[in-house]
Amino acid sequence: MSILVGNDTKLLVQGLGRDGSFQTSRMLDYGTNIVAAVHPRRQGLYFEEKVPYFSSVTEAVDRTGANTGIIFVPAPFAMDAIIEQIDAGIDLIICITEGIPIHDMIKVKAYLKGTDSKLIGPNCPGIITPKSRTKIGIIPGNIVRPGNIGVVSRSGTLTYEAIAQLVKNGYGQSTCIGIGGDPIHGISFTDTLKLFEQDEETKAIVLIGEIGGSKEQEAAAFIKSNVSKPVVAAIAGQTAPPGKRMGHAGAIVTGKLGLASEKNKALENAGAHLVESPAYIGEKIKQILS
């Protein structure tokens, strides 16, 4: 088992520009079941002679039964792509695009309400489950291993770092998911924790937060009352000064709750195993599980 994606995943890809095409090749290489590509002017053609193009998401869904969609569409058009996938009834939408206007995300968030679609991202590395060989996004397929650790993070490359540490210490992953670095995003830490808690394959959870917002505190509250599995937590950005945006639009300390120290405190109080520095995630897991 895994969470959100797995053997039933039928992926649709939207936004096949240079980066999108490159990443789509990587996903195919890894073994992801890609059933459709969407491009307004390529109907009838095939991506790498394998994946049929359709001119709209609705048509692609009608013809292929795609249930998951990934978006590499440039930021100015990304909101529209998300809306199109929601309207087409896609269950899980993964938006990799970085730099979507925040007012667009306000609309997306409101639009999602009352629909059955779930959104991962935007500005995220996506999701990967090594066992079913389902890679949706840009997490390098060669660094993950099948196993029992669930990884959830606001970051991209820091997730890879955590995965590498896990592998080095002998631990594979059930599912790794990057929820994205934007302040307004889809699936939250809490949503993911709930799924990992229910997932039989997941024995422990790694949660990697960062400064800004209060989603880590929300996660802590959820851990306290609803998570029985061990959670190893790390917060990036303890050396970041307030009021300065650290790359991610969401990584800015604007209030007390946004501080790394506050997040650490909340997670520790909730019973999570906190690592002093994100360099020691793998060791901490080993220490707990062995």
Partner 1 sequence: MNLHEYQAKKLLADYGVPIPKGKVTSSPEEAEIIKKEISGKAIIKAQIHSGGRGKSGGVKLISSSEDAYDSAKTILGSNLITYQTGPKGLPVNNVLVEEATNIDKEIYLSVFIDNDLGVPIVITSTQGGVEIEEIAKNSPEKIFKTICSPLVGLSPYKLRDISMSLSIPPSEISHMEKIMGSIYKLFIEKDCTLIEINPLVITSDNKIVAVDAKINIDDDALFRHPDLQELNDPTQQEVLEKRASDFDLSYVKLEGGKIGCMVNGAGLAMATMDITKWAGENPANFLDIGGSASEKKIKEAFKIIDDDPDVEIILVNLFAGIARADVVANGIVKAGKETQSTTPIVVTMRGTNSEQGLSILKNSELDITSVEDLASAAKILKNKLSNTE
Shortest spacing between CB 266 and partner 1, in angstroms: 14
Is residue 221 a contact point for partner 1 (CB under 8 A)? Answer: no
Contact pick of 4, 16, 28, 234 for partner 1 (by CB under 8 A):
234
For residue 132, give both structure tokens: 């079913």
Query: Scanning residues 145 to 184, which ones bind partner 1 (CB under 8 A)?
Result: 153-161, 164-165, 168, 181, 183-184
x/- map, 66-105, partner 1, by CB under 8 A: ---------xxx-xxx-xx--x-----------xxxxxxx
Nearer to partner 1 (CB atom), residue 7 or residue 45: 45
User: Following CA atoms 31, 4, 260, 106 in sequence, which dihedral angle do they give, to the nearest 10 degrees?
Assistant: 110
Shortest spacing between CB 8 and partner 1, in angstroms: 26
> Is 39 among the catalytic positions?
no
d(CA 277, CA 279): 5
Nearer to partner 1 (CB atom), residue 131 or residue 154: 154
Contact pick of 10, 21, 42, 55 for partner 1 (by CB under 8 A):
55
CB atoms within 10 A of CB 160: 20
Catalytic residue among 39, 185, 248, 273: 248
Is residue 264 a contact point for partner 1 (CB under 8 A)? Answer: no
Shortest spacing between CB 216 and partner 1, in angstroms: 11
d(CA 70, CA 95): 6
User: Which region, judged by CB under 8 A, interacts with partner 1, from 44-52, 196-204, 261-269, 270-278?
Assistant: 270-278
Is residue 110 a contact point for partner 1 (CB under 8 A)? Answer: yes
Shortest spacing between CB 53 and partner 1, in angstroms: 14
Is residue 253 a contact point for partner 1 (CB under 8 A)? Answer: no
Please, what sign has the CA dihedral across residues 231, 146, 197, 88? positive
Contact pick of 121, 250, 259, 267 for partner 1 (by CB under 8 A):
250
Is residue 63 a contact point for partner 1 (CB under 8 A)? Answer: no
Shortest spacing between CB 34 and partner 1, in angstroms: 19
Q: Cα 34 to the chain's mean position, in Å?
A: 18
Nearer to partner 1 (CB atom), residue 1 or residue 257: 257
Q: Which positions are annotated as active-site residues?
A: 248
